[in-house]
A and B are shown apart, each in its own frame.
Chain A
């Protein structure tokens, strides 16, 4: 019985997420935010990073929406879309 408990204790300690790992993720998130180059290595609170991440995701969604619109307009007016697809395919090789 005691050996089983000891074994389970061992497995939970090896899978436990440390505060350090979470902090590491938060700073990685901070590094991809648009203001990262302004801040440099200065640490920001987790709540602030989360808030800015939410704002950034929203703005990226808006950018995708805008780019989709521009792509749609471009594809609608072009007559050689199949030729362009062939060009892009060759660029991907």
Chain B
């Protein structure tokens, strides 16, 4: 016990050490000796063992593409014609969707068209889907390849599963409409008609995205919605087959070869890791495959990139890659389940699994937990009337007695706060009551932020400004209002300390849970929040304003502002529009794509931050 007592004064140092230890540990994961090589876990795949039978030529595919992209006819009609000629069963589906929620909110129409190659010798109980999105402003040149491939597939009899060629419009909306109708569910804001025909349960899928007439290398996109990822075996299959057919493959546009110098090697791999995490933080998918993953169907997007300096690999090679992936998926007996579902990719050949990346985060969250524990222990020692020499050796940011000017604070209040206990008699309220009141208030403010965008239109009419600015202003106003409302309820020192302990534990649990679902978001939040919150102290202290400023700096609002500053490189004109854009995008994504980033920030992160903000303005003396 005496050992613990000796550690208590140094608890801040320990926590800071743990925090930086966690960060360094995470950075080291990209090191050569620690990251692991990708390997196949599913024996049934047999990737790349069979010879390709794709025999169309580049010219033939080029001609098919020209026919489809003929401006005189509809793309869907041409596709139907080609698929019928190839002997496939062809069906259409109409759907409607709403793309924009902030301003210009109108319902749009779209059509999906799909063809099915039935398996000749087995019952149509399983299928794989090859999704070729019809790009509205550009052309998807993979259509020609896939139509030639479909014709070939129809002639062969070694397909054990049905193959569906899905040509979807309007990006992820089309894919979502088709999948919802396929599985019989409805999700706002997409509404789709029933499908004329199905083909059994979908085992796996992939999307091909070819925006230009030529291809130099293939970039793989893996991120799904809200941190979901496809099974690593599907990624391995795609990488293996692309390499077998002599093309280069990248993930997140990064080619990360092993480098001789250890510093360069770890820097390049770390860069790729952070790029992938950056993409995952917002919780949106990088391609149509995200819609499939949402339904539990492992999917990946192959995006081709053309660089004239690197030459053209040709349509036929890409066709062989698509055929090879399909044949490998054809060999599957069960859905993907053997390999990892949670991972980060520093390169196409390496992965970092959840077992490797969770411990550094755990260290960082342990810092918060240890700080909370130390506070509890301190309180116990004080209560059991042990000597004060422990508190004498407590560290910096300490103990200045002063009395707050109550009147100044009362003037800042502008709320219709229901709770009437707004006077100095709070020193009599037990700490538990104070904690409860503060937490309930902060979560109510969170609900306000969550429902605020509903009033966008009324606000824009009232203040006569465009809707995107109005939604930004609305959110900012509610945010700041919440800050003042929460500080109107004065916490005593006891209450402040108890709330601090509760908030630290609340933070640890919240970030831990988020990290399990979306690790990038959890890690980002931990990096931003853990250090300031460890160093916080309830009660009045010397550099109070500085402390409040630091606390404000980690509020969701200022983090958004800082991100916009960073992306605009400090150019003031664009920062404002970027700021507005940021809020609009985050809100819209939560509505159209059902990513829960906005909901999370409004309902969970903001109340948590408000609790810390309340602690910084708690009154009371800290005994020296």
Does B associate with A? no
